[in-house]
Chain A
Amino acid sequence: MTKKNMFGKLGTAAAVGLALAAFSGLQARAASELTVYTAVEAEDLKKYAAKFNEDHPDIKIKWVRDSTGIITAKLLAEKNNPKADIIWGLAATSLMLLGNEGMLEAYAPKGVDKLDKKFVDAANPPTWTGMDAWVAAICYNTVEGKANNVPAPASWKDLTKPVYKGHVIMPNPNSSGTGFLDVSSWLQLFGEKGGWEYMDGLHQNISRYTHSGSKPCKLAAAGETTIGVSFAFRGAKSKAKGAPLDIIIPTEGVGWDMEATAIVKGTKNLAAAKTLADWSISRKANEMYNAGYAVVAMPGVAKPVKFFPENTVSAMIDNNFAWAASNRKAILAEWQKRYDSKSEPKK
């Protein structure tokens, strides 16, 4: 009886203690902890943080990662009550959009003059600084291509040919930054009217639109589709893992966007955020970006990246970022109206 009683009391005490532990300490937060929003590939995040911590071990990075579109939407949704301290690795077009909303803190990181002008916001002081360029590409599975008798495409226009029907997967531009840069590059390459006509044709051949920009290439790598419209960096990574992929840079030229860094206005950790912003444009950081990206913000750093198509840099279109950023909303609405109802049954 006494034994049972004691067990009971211990049990109660333990339960209460545990409950208290659960509800306290959940909000505990170190002073030098930065909440960093990013769209950088998940497999690189650990490395980025580790490299940064080599120089600044006192600042802990707390990543919030998602697709470009989602991180952008999340930042916009939190506009009145920002949760992020700094954004490290988000499409420059998205940052321009946030800048127009007055959400970014203008700051010229130390050594900003060493970067290529293209990679720095024109305003003084700049609201964002670029890291690297990420470039659209087609991932083509050679094994499936042979098996399905689907030849390798050479250009964007090729993808509208009937032979590709049901063999193409591309990202939904509403959620994926890669999807958006594709759409905006087609509109710039083929003109407003021609661009939408092109997409009407392409839509006939698309088997599905994905939520993330890397998924089409990963699906192509796994043979789930023959052709994935994605970006060169992803293709090179999958190819390095042994996927039977050809990374094709279409002849018309390819859309691209910068990954860039910006401090969120109103952050309580401004000093630490500035430290990270400074570091993000350092030579060391640029060398780190170069591990995956053939084009980086600091001239003279970039070395060729394995499996990256050689003609990548010359194929990059003269991208009008300001136009893309200011028309983003209208383009996405139009896209959704035209193509986001692939669910309707095929009669």
Chain B
Amino acid sequence: MAVTTIGAGAVKPKVSGDERMMRVGIVVIGLFLLIGLLLPLYAMMSKSFQDSDGNFIGLANYAEYFSTPALFFSIYNSLTVSVLATVITISFAFVYAYALTRSCMPFKGVFRAIALIPILAPSLLPAISLVYFFGKQGIIKSWLFGESIYGPIGIVIGEVFWTFPHAMMILVTALSITDARLYEAAAALRTSKIRTFFTVTLPGAKYGVISAIFVVFTLVFTDFGVPKVIGGQYNVLSVDIYKQVIGQQNFEMGAVVSVVLLIPAVISFTIDRIVQRRQVALLSARAVPLEPKPNRTIDTSMLIVCGIIAFVIVSIIVMAGYASFVQFWPYNLNLVLSNYDFDVMDGGGWDSYTNSIQMAAWTAVIGTAFIFTGAYLVEKGQGFKKGRTVIHFLAILPLAVPGMVLGLSYIFFFNHPDNPFGFIYHTMAILVVVTIAHFYTVSHLTAVTALKQMDPEFEAVSASLKVPFYKTFWRVTVPVCMPSIINIAVYLFVNAMTTVSAVIFLYAPDTTLAAVAVLNMDDAGDIAPAAAMAMLIFATNAVLYSIYSLGTRGLQARTQAWRKR
């Protein structure tokens, strides 16, 4: 491959040394994604065609799967709760996002902040909270009219809470990018408000809505925390994998269920990608941003609806927090700290909390450095186009891979006796690697977006001045992109703190994690301590997030001053 692609600059600079380094960099990133993603997935898929001694048996495992009603019925169950939760989440999130972008409702900042709360908590937390609301001893149990919370109802409510911010953020973005001229035209033509909504607003947000639907659907379909805690005997696919692997050590069947779980996730991911690609062409350069005008009726009703949604979100967190201090629910409601005495509970004690902090910090530091550099090489690299395209594709792929599937794949791949990387099995390192791989895509896309905003002239000028690219990278690119870099680090940290699915199969006795401890304590029936640990995770993330929000304002002012004239 001797052909060099030239950037925006017209001169062909002599950068062969740079180019070699970049190639090495791209190969290193590529190797990481190969070892951390592709090969494990391959190991998992091939396992689904083997018996427990490793002999190839074709589709026999699948035949067994589809002839066991207790197993294949979960597909139907998973689809049911996913569709229900998606419809409800999208409806609520759309109204909420509409209020934030298109109304003059007061307290928008507060509402936006509240809507983000669920992201900071593990998905186990809403489920635990629901037990205190609607369980046999729940305070508003009667609201269910005798139905049990343990089952589809609990799963759907928990998932709506947990996926709400994801949908809301996508929809806010979709509703923000619109062209005010369309509304001016509609007003000039005396189109009614309702008609305008259906002919302008909805079509404009169409791609955002579709994208949000697929994101929420995938999240619910592959989530493990909520159904594990509140699913009762209502089996879903992700819990089946856990039961097969952890409960019965039936790895082959676990692999089969993983493949079954992977298929819809991949389909939904593919459709979402296609939709995203179309979205790009929507907004022209001449578009005028829409400024919402005050409208008493709309603003008041939006305030009421958003107020109710925000109240529910806050109550769920507050309930878990309250329950975590109650001595013995429901018979002794004294407030005590004993539920935070994790050392006498299942799940790893306080060590698991410090382990989680450590793991999250490593993931944030190493992951951000790695992913941002990777995105830089893909976006700003010269030459080696094929390599860069492959990396970009590989970087998008993790979004389609459920955490449970990734975690199980790691067992098959890294615990294989012949694997030279086997030494990282049962260490903190493998937890960091799997978490980086699991959350690669969003971080990568954030970095790419930030890098796209930078004029390629920077690289061209530096190259013509014979400044090596890594100096430009370190002195110009990194400082300019600092807000996005910190954003990525915070995203990785928060997710590393809350994730259960990817690490549940991979932790070792001395690397237990807080979110896994929540799961194990709930499993042993220690629900209040589970709530306590979940709240601890939430509080840690909330503190970090507040510092981040306040800090970025200062940072923005310092490093982004150049953006202004």
Q: Tell whether A and B belong to one assembly.
A: yes
Interface residues of A (CB under 8 A from B): 4, 8, 15, 18-19, 22-23, 26-27, 35, 42-43, 46, 62-65, 69-70, 73-74, 76-77, 81, 83, 143-144, 172, 174-175, 207-212, 214-219, 222-225, 241-244, 336, 340-344
Interface residues of B in 54-83 (CB under 8 A from A): 69-70, 73-74, 77
Chain B, residues 171-201, CB within 8 Å of chain A (1/0): the string is 0000000000000000000000000000000
Contact B344 A42, beta carbon cutoff 8 Å: yes
| Given A215-B524, A215-B525, A243-B331, 10 new contacts (CB under 8 A) | A73-B247, A76-B249, A172-B247, A207-B150, A207-B232, A208-B150, A222-B527, A223-B330, A224-B136, A341-B70
Please give, as numbers and ranges, the residues of chain A lying within 8 Å of B474 by CB-CB distance.
8
Q: Is the CB of B429 within 8 A of A22?
A: yes
Q: Is the CB of A342 within 8 A of B526?
A: no
Known: A242-B332, A244-B331. A343 touches B73 (CB 8 A): yes
Does B428 make an interface contact (CB < 8 A)? yes
B384 within 8 A of A: no
- The winner among B70, B74, B426, B429 for most chain A CB atoms within 10 A is B70
Q: Are A77 and B249 touching (Cβ within 8 A)? A: yes
* Residues of chain B with a CB closer than 8 A to A23's CB: 429
B362 within 8 A of A: yes
B109 at the interface (CB under 8 A from A): no
- The answer to whether A43 and B328 touch across the interface, beta carbons within 8 angstroms, is no
Among all A-B residue pairs, the 3 with the closest Cβ atoms: A218-B525, A341-B70, A215-B525
Chain A residue at minimal CB-CB distance from B138: A224
**Among A73, A218, A242, contact of B524 (Cβ-Cβ < 8 Å):** A218
Q: Is A242 in contact with B523, judged by CB distance below 8 angstroms?
A: no
Known contacts A81-B417, A242-B328, A343-B73; A15 and B249 CB within 8 A of each other: no
Shortest C-beta distance, A150 to chain B (Å), equals 12
A244 partner residues in chain B, CB cutoff 8 A:
331
Asked whether A210 lies within 8 Å of B136 as measured between CB atoms, the reply is no
Residues of chain B lying within 8 A (CB to CB) of residue A77: 249, 251
Is B429 touching A214 in the complex (CB atoms < 8 A)? no
Residue contact A19 to B73, C-beta cutoff 8 Å: no
Q: Which residues of B contact A214 (CB under 8 A)?
A: 524-525
Chain A residues with CB under 8 A of B423: 27
In the complex, are the beta carbons of A22 and B362 less than 8 A apart? yes
- CB-contact partner of A70 in B73, B137, B246, under 8 A: B246
> In whole angstroms, how far apart are the Cα atoms of A243 and B528 in the complex?
14
Q: B525 touching A223 by the CB < 8 A rule?
A: no
Q: Does A26 lie within 8 Å of B429, measured CB to CB? A: yes
A235 shortest CB reach to chain B, Å: 12
**B427 to A27, Cβ gap below 8 A?**
yes
Contact B525 A63 (CB under 8 A): no
Q: A62-B510, A241-B328, A343-B70 are in contact. Are A15 and B137 (CB under 8 A)?
A: no
Distance between A122 CB and nearest chain B CB, rounded to angstroms:
29
Q: Which residue of B lies closest to A167 (CB)?
A: B136
B525 engages A62 (CB within 8 Å): no
Residue of A nearest to B240 (CB): A343
Q: Can you name the residue of chain A whose Cβ is closest to the Cβ of B344?
A: A43
- Candidates B74, B131, B235, B524; contact of A42 at CB < 8 Å: B524
> B331 contacts which chain A residues (CB < 8 A)?
143, 223, 242-244
A222 engages B330 (CB within 8 Å) = yes
Residue of B nearest to A172 (CB): B247
- Complex formed: what's the CA distance from A175 to B242 in Å? 12
